[in-house]
Structure 1
């Protein structure tokens, strides 16, 4: 059976769900296809916490995260779900630039420097090693609630969502339509939004060109809280390369309290390269040993010997910036891992704009051809 439809979104994680929400609230016909069940653990969008870190320095990220903060509240209002919790964000470490607070304030984002003693008094579960950049409008968000809310509101507004609908292939048909073939149905779509994370190369590799995507298996952990009276902000700990203080670090550290599970902490984008259909879901022992050492030294309100490992995939580009672009009827969203979650509703807006606004142009930093790649057309 073949069905004609205006827009098919492939991939029902955070980004695809946000795109479907944006299209449905604009009154557009949209079908979201997800190969797994809702809230599965095979990709990058599962779990109940992500940092909502507003502490960027580049204008395009600052503009996008400001928009995302407003849109998260709109989603909460439309769905009734509590998603964004502004517990504050702290950035510390010798790698945080001295002009960071000035940059944020210039973009209308509240920011202040706190001395080490003041920060330790406020958040006694963390052993801060330098002055701390505090942004009260940062915090954490719940991606599982967000996915469910995006999809529920999209359906309420006339969109359709299908789980367990694996897309086997997509291809061009005469007249510019795109054939989307699943295990049980075939769709002819005017546009297709592809947001499938680590499966991007398997689905559209060879159809369009885009920056190289690197798929890794990341292994953060939740450490049991021992100081139950401590307050916990979301945090980033930024190393200075070459400083012996950080000689065992694999990357910068991120983290936040996950209520009911512990304090989550992890290395950033340094896990082993994997095939998303063939991975172990097991942590790399040496990296976990070093993560536990980090918890022992800096997360002093936790027990580094009581932890629950987490497994997820990252999909990143060489410059760690996103891919948000359109080539003919194919709209691609990829490379979000490690920092994309906070921007989700704004990314959904960008993807939807490519559908509804024929003259929409990509943000240059996220263009598919930003490395000079000759992008294939249809």
Structure 2
């Protein structure tokens, strides 16, 4: 979100500074790795305008950079037919029910009576690392200064207006406005800066890659039309067609145990990892036994942090209080925000520069839903306005 906000601000001619706590393209947060799903199969209708705007902005950024980070793919949604959220997601995406026995060589089997539907448009796979590098490079090309290994430890009101940002290295940066997109570290930073206690719970999640059985390697690729997929059943698995690592397919499971981001210094292995891999392995043995090898476990394990709000929605708001509209907050992206990054980055940049986001209004995105004040016990007010 920060890289996209810097790019959006620089596109407006603003002088932007992007501060990164760790090395660029590090593996300690929520935006690393080779792949993320983009889809419009959302049960919450309010998500649709944002993801569709983001899809257009991904295309614009690819055209601007001259290379691709998004591989189109259909999206398969499945789960119990009486799951109301699944039914809404299928309807909102305009997905069509399909017979999986007739699709992709019968690669996926699910329980009888489940709903299975495919959305052919608007979906795909995003290369996360490449996308991060793309937006940072585009921002730098337009004059943005990027500093890595610069942990922000405080944000203060400037003596003559604006804000002063201080880092653990003793540096001070003065700017008119500040956008905070610090992911799993948001609760700690915002509490120390302004006394705001955001109920954002970082979770340790695991993404795993499994070996495709011999002779099936090509049939499960994005090139062959194999879809991204997600289940609302038990376990809540999701998958991405074989793309970034030939011969392997990414199939994992939502959720994970709470974690402390301040204690993270590498890619931790937790007690919850074995539980996730065992749940996914059992699903593979039942649903894809002829195509994916589950015996022996996954070939690759990658750790990630997912920052959950109580309602699984984002926080996109002015910090308020003494900071008024000088500090804008974009946090709590809850495991499904990466696909939205170009749209969110533009909203944040426009809010910082203009005090509102015309792009959000024109796209039909209701940013009022994402305010800090929706959480009970927020000790600070924020700008009571529609933006």
- State whether TM-score is above 0.5: yes
Give yes or no for the alignment of 1:46 onto 2:28.
Answer: no
1:377 deviation in Å? 5.4
Partner of 2:118: 134
* Number of the residue aligned with 2:142: 157
Out of 345, 352, 374, the position equivalent to 1:348 is 345
CA deviation after TM superposition for structure 1 residue 353, in Å: 1.5
How far apart are the structure 2 equivalents of 1:330 and 1:79?
29
Query: Is the 2:177–2:353 Cα contact (8 Å) retained in structure 1?
Result: no
User: Would you say the 8 A contact 1:210–1:323 is kept in 2?
Assistant: no
1:238 to 212, 219, 232: 232
Residue deviations 1:287-323 (CA, integer Å, cap 9, x gap) = 3222221222223321112411110111110011000
Cα shift at 1:55: 0.3
Given that 1:256 and 1:264 are in contact with CA atoms closer than 8 Å, whether structure 2 keeps it comes out as yes
Q: Which segment drifts farther, 37-46 or 209-218?
A: 209-218
1:302 is aligned to 292
Q: Which residue of 1 aligns with 2:277?
A: 288
Which secondary structure does the structure 1 equivalent of 2:345 belong to?
A: helix
C-alpha distance in structure 2 between counterparts of 1:19 and 1:324, whole Å: 12
**Normalized against structure 2, the TM-score is what?**
0.84
CA-CA distance at 1:163 after TM superposition = 1.3
Identify if the C-alpha distance between structure 1 residues 123 and 18 changes in structure 2 by more than 3 Å, giving closer, same or farther: farther
Which structure has greater strand proportion? 1
Q: Separation in 1 of the partners of 2:288 and 2:165? A: 48
Provide the C-alpha distance between the structure 2 equivalents of 1:29 and 1:336, rounded to a whole number of angstroms: 26
Corresponding residue for residue 35 of structure 1: 21
User: Residue 161 of structure 2 aligns with which residue?
Assistant: 176
Taking the aligned partners of 1:118 and 1:302, their CA distance within structure 2 comes to 18
What secondary structure does 1:155 align onto? Answer: helix
C-alpha contact (below 8 Å) 1:21/1:151 kept by paired residues: yes
Contact 1:368 1:375 in 2 (8 A): no
- Structure 1: 5+ residue stretches without partners: 1-14, 106-110, 240-245
* Unpaired stretches in structure 2, ≥5 consecutive residues: 221-225, 383-387
- The runs of at least 4 consecutive aligned structure 1 residues that moved more than 6 Å come to none
1:295-374 matched pairs, under 5 angstroms: 295-300=284-289, 301-304=291-294, 305-307=296-298, 308-326=300-318, 327=320, 328=324, 329-360=326-357, 363-374=367-378
Q: Is the 8 A contact 2:38 2:339 kept in 1?
A: yes
Partner of 2:385: none
Distance in 2 (CA, whole Å) between partners of 1:196 and 1:151 is 16
Structure 1 match to 2:203: 216
The 3 A distance-change label for structure 1 pair 202 and 374 is closer
Q: 1:185 to 1:123 in 2, by over 3 A?
A: farther
Distance across 1 between alignment mates of 2:268 and 2:344: 28
Taking the TM superposition and a 5 Å limit, the aligned residue runs for 1:249-268 are 249=235, 252-257=236-241, 258-260=243-245, 262-268=248-254
Q: Does structure 2 retain, via aligned residues, the 8 Å contact 1:198–1:215? A: yes
Give the drift of 1:180. Answer: 0.7
Q: For 1:208 and 1:322, how far apart are their aligned partners in 2? A: 19
Contact 1:220 1:311 (8 Å CA) reproduced? yes
Q: How many residues align?
A: 346
Check whether the contact 1:254–1:268 (CA below 8 A) recurs between aligned residues. yes
Shift of 1:267: 2.1
